[in-house]
Amino acid sequence: METPEQLQEYLRTTIPLTEAMGLRVLACSDGEVRLAAPLLGNHNDKMTAFAGSLYSLAALAGWSLLQRLVTVQKLEMQVAIFTGEVVYTRPVRGEFSAHVRIGPEIAETLLSELRTKRRGRVALEIMVEDGEGVAMRLAARYALFPATPA
């Protein structure tokens, strides 16, 4: 999952919703992920983006960032969102993207915790934007734990 293409294929094969959404991975690196989805297939009855699609894209961006981080570090961990507070600021009328970053210090602290305690938690702020700017913010907390019981 080191390239956007590899991450997109991983998402497509492990989370079927991503294909139904038309999700595309625009960028991925050790500290950043940007995902996008079209309005077509993700709209509501008002022809604006469905709130659930905006939330899903944001939650997937955070999940992807952390899943990629542990995979690259060869740590077999599960990643799960356990809280999320959403603020929708305006309707979305076109393609939208979710962007998330993790600072190197936070990432290193999390990785150290995962190596020593075999579990960890981290808070991320994910922004969903369209051509007019930020339309939604997700303040989410993710838990990371062993893929198989210890």
Give the model's confidence band at 74: pLDDT under 50 very low, under 70 low, under 90 confident, else very high. very high
| DSSP for residue 60 | H
Give the full edge-to-edge strand order of the sheet including 32-37: 24-29, 32-37, 96-101, 120-130, 133-146, 77-88
Q: Is the pLDDT of residue 147 over 90?
A: no
Question: Where residue 150 falls among pLDDT bands split at 50, 70, 90?
Answer: low
d(CA 114, CA 58): 24
pLDDT in tens, 90-140: 999 999 999 999 999 999 999 999 999 999 999 999 999 999 999 999 999
Q: Residues 7-26: pLDDT tens digits?
A: 999 999 999 999 999 999 99
Structure confidence at residue 87 as a pLDDT band (50, 70, 90) = very high
**What are the structural domains of the chain?**
4-146 (3.10.129.10)
Helix (H) or strand (E) holding 33: strand 32-37
Q: What is the pLDDT of residue 16?
A: 95
